[in-house]
Amino acid sequence: MPTKKKIEISKEDCIENLRNEIICRDSLIRQLYSLLDDEPLFSSIFIYGHISTGKSLIVDKVLNYMRYNYSIINCIEHANSRSLLEKILIDLSKVKLTADNNYKLERRCDDFTEFIYQIQEITKKDERPMIVVLEKCDKLRDMDANLLPALLKLNELTKTNICSILTSDVIWDKFKPKDGLYEPIQLHFPQYNKDEIKEILFHTTKPMDEDDTFYDGYLRTFLAVFFQFCNDLKELRYMARKNFEEYVKPVHEGKIKKTNQRALWNNIIKVFKANLEVLYLRVSTDDFEQQAKFLHEIESTTKLALSFELPYYAKYLLIAAFLASYNPAKEDRRLFLKEKVEKKKRKTTAKKKSVTLTLKEGPKIFPLCRLLAIFCAIINSKIDLNAVLLMQVQSLCQLGLITAVGDSNNIDEPKYKCCVDFDFVMVISKNVGFELKNYLCDFLDG
C-alpha cells in the first residue's frame, strides 16, 4: 500500500505527463486519479458532462498512464449484449483478432455467467486491476434489463479487482429504474469557460510556424465573435482553423502588417459573419461564393422550396395535402365546391367560435381519398387519376414532404399528414400560380 505522500507525488506526475495533451483539467484528473488509485477499486464510477468536455480523452489518458488493463466500449455500437461483452473480453484478454481466428473469440460469450467466468480466467493470467469504460452508457438502458445493474457491480460478481467507469451526457437520475439501482460514485465534468477554451484552442489549433502573440490576438478576436453563439469546443476548434486561413491571408500577401490589429479585424469581420451562419453545418466548399449559395438555400424557405424540383402535378398534390392538413374536413364543401352551398341555419348559433387558428395547431391527419378529392378540385383542368400520378404521393412521402401515418398495412384507406410549413407551400403555390389564401379557412374567416 503506497503512502499518502507517494500517491500525491504520482498524481502530480500524471498531471505533468499529460500536460502535453490535456490542460485546464488538473483538478478533475486529480480526482479521477485518486478514485482509480484506491485498492481495491471502487465498483463503479459514473462520469457525466456535456459533449466535448473531455470525458473520454481524460479517462483514456489517465488509464493509459496508470497502466491498467482496460477496455473502452462505445455502447451505441453494440446492438446486443453479446457483442458488447465479447468486445470487453477481447480487449481485456488482449486477444488479437486475425484471419486465423476468423476475427472472433474462441468461446462465445452469450450471457453474463459466461462473461464472469471468462473475466475470472483473465485475472489468472493478468493480475493488473481491470477497468471497463462504457461510453455513452445511456444506451445500456435499452439493452437487456440485467446488463446495467450487473455492470455496476462487476467486482462483486466476478470477485476480482475490476471497476466500471460509465460516461454519459445524461444525468444519473435518468438511469434509475423504479426498484432502485446500485449507486456509483459520480463525477461531473463541467463545461469549459472562455479562458479555458482560449487556452485549449491555442494549444490545439495553432499552426507550428505561427507567432504566439499573433495567434493569441487572433483567438481573442475569434472568440469575441463566436463564443456568444457557440461554446462547444469541437465546433470552435473547427471554426478557428477554418477562419485562421482567411485571417492570415493578407499578412502572407503582405497587404497588412501583423501588428495592425485593426486592419486585420476589418478584413476578417466579413468572413466571420459568413462563417457564423454556417456554424454547425460543416459544409466545406473550396469556393466561398458557393458556400454563400448553399447557405441561402438552407436559410430561406423560398430558396429551399424552389430548389425542390417537383413535377407540376406533384406541386399541386403538395398544396392539396397542405390544404387537407390545415382545413377542417367539414369545411371542404364550402371551400372547394364551385357553386356556393348555403349554410343550414340553425337556431342555436349562440355558440362562440373557437378562435384558435388551424394553422397554429399543426397538421391534421387526412385520408388519401380526401387528398385526391381536393387535388381534383383545385386543379382547373380535368385530370385523370392514373397510376403515374398516384405514385407521386408515395414519392412525396419519400422526400419527406408528407408522411404516411399509422399502419402501413392499411391499404384500404392510407392516411397522411403534411410536413411542410405555410411559407413553403406559399412559395410552391406562387410558383404554379395558385391562390393559396383563398382556400384556407383561417384567412377566409379571420
Partner 1 sequence: MEDWSVSKGVFAYNKYKVGQKRKRNDKTDLYAYKKEPSFLAFKETWSTIENAAKNANMKAFRQILLDLKNFVNKVKNLPLLKDEIPTGILLAGVNLPDHDILIDKVVSNLQSISPYIATLWSRDCPTLKHLTEKLVYQIINGNEDEEEEEDKVVIKRNQCTFYALEAWHRDKLSPETPINIIVPDFESFIPKILHDFILILGSYAKNIKFILIFGVATTLHIVHRSLSYDATSKLKIQVFRTQSQTEYLSDILDGLICSSNIPFKVIDKAYCLLVDLFLYFDFSVNGFLQSYKICMWRHFYGRNEFKLCCRREDILKKVAELNNTDIIKLKKLPSLSVYTKKTKITKEEFKKLIVQLLEEFHDYINSFLVILKCLHIFTVDMPSRPFGKMFREIYGEAAKKTSIVESSDYKEAMKLMRMWSQGEMLEHMKKVISVLQNSEPILSDVIEKLEEYFELLKNADLKIIESQEEEKPSTPITGRQIWRDQLAKKAKQHSQSPYTKVLNEFVKYLDTEVFHVYLKSPSEVPLNEIFCYDDAKTIKDCVRGSMKGAIHTALTSPEEIHEEFPNPPDICVAYKLHLENRKMINMYDWLQAFRTIVDPKENEEDEKEDIDPVLQARFTQSVAELQFLGFIKATQRKTDHVKRLNI
Amino acid, res. 170: V
Q: How far apart are CA 117 and CA 396, in angstroms?
A: 54
Q: Among residues 51, 170, 171, 444, which is the contact residue for partner 1, using CB under 8 A?
A: 51
Near partner 1 in 136-165, by CB under 8 A: 136
Our finding on whether 409 is near partner 1 (CB under 8 A) is no
Beta strands 185-189; 366-367: pairing state? unpaired
For residues 228-257, which are near partner 1 according to CB under 8 A?
232, 234-235, 238
* 240's grid cell: 478557428
CA quadruple 306, 307, 308, 309: dihedral sign: positive
Nearer to partner 1, 113 or 394 (CB): 394
Contact flag: residue 74 with partner 1 (CB under 8 A): yes
Task: Spell out, one character per residue from 369 to 388, where the chain touches partner 1: x when CB under 8 A holds, - when not.
Answer: ---------------xxxxx
DSSP symbols for 305-333: HHHS---HHHHHHHHHHHHHHHS-GGGHH
Min dist. Cβ of residue 174 to partner 1 (A): 17
Determine the Cα–Cα distance for residues 183 and 177; give it in Å rounded to an integer.
12
Q: How far is the CB of 358 from partner 1 (least distance, A)?
A: 24
* By CB under 8 A, residue 356 contacts partner 1: no
Q: Which residues contact 323 (CB under 8 A, 6 or more apart)?
A: 335, 374, 378, 436, 439, 440
Give the range of 21-29, 98-106, 123-131, 268-276 binding partner 1 by CB under 8 A: 98-106
Enter the C-alpha cell of residue 362. Answer: 399543426
Q: Categorise residue 195: left if φ over 0, alpha if ψ from -120 to 50, beta otherwise.
A: alpha
Q: Site mask, partner 1, residues 274-313, x = CB under 8 A? A: ------xxxxxx----x---x--xx-----x--xxxxxxx
Rounded distance between C-alpha atoms, residue 34 and residue 125, angstroms: 26
- Judged on CB neighbours under 10 Å (0-12, 13-18, 19+), 347 is exposed
With CB under 8 A as the contact rule, the residue among 17, 34, 64, 83 that binds partner 1 is: 83
Provide, rounded to whole angstroms, the least separation between the CB of residue 48 and partner 1. 15
Q: Is 79 a residue that touches partner 1 (CB under 8 A)?
A: yes
Task: CB nearer to partner 1: give 11 or 55.
Answer: 55
Binding residues for partner 1, rule CB under 8 A, total 55
Between residues 99 and 208, which has the closer beta carbon with respect to partner 1? Answer: 99
* Contact between residue 240 and residue 222 where contact means Cβ atoms under 8 Å apart: yes
Residues that bind partner 1 (CB under 8 A): 51, 74, 76-80, 83, 87, 90, 96-99, 102-104, 135-136, 232, 234-235, 238, 280-285, 290, 294, 297-298, 304, 307-314, 384-389, 391-392, 394-395, 398-400
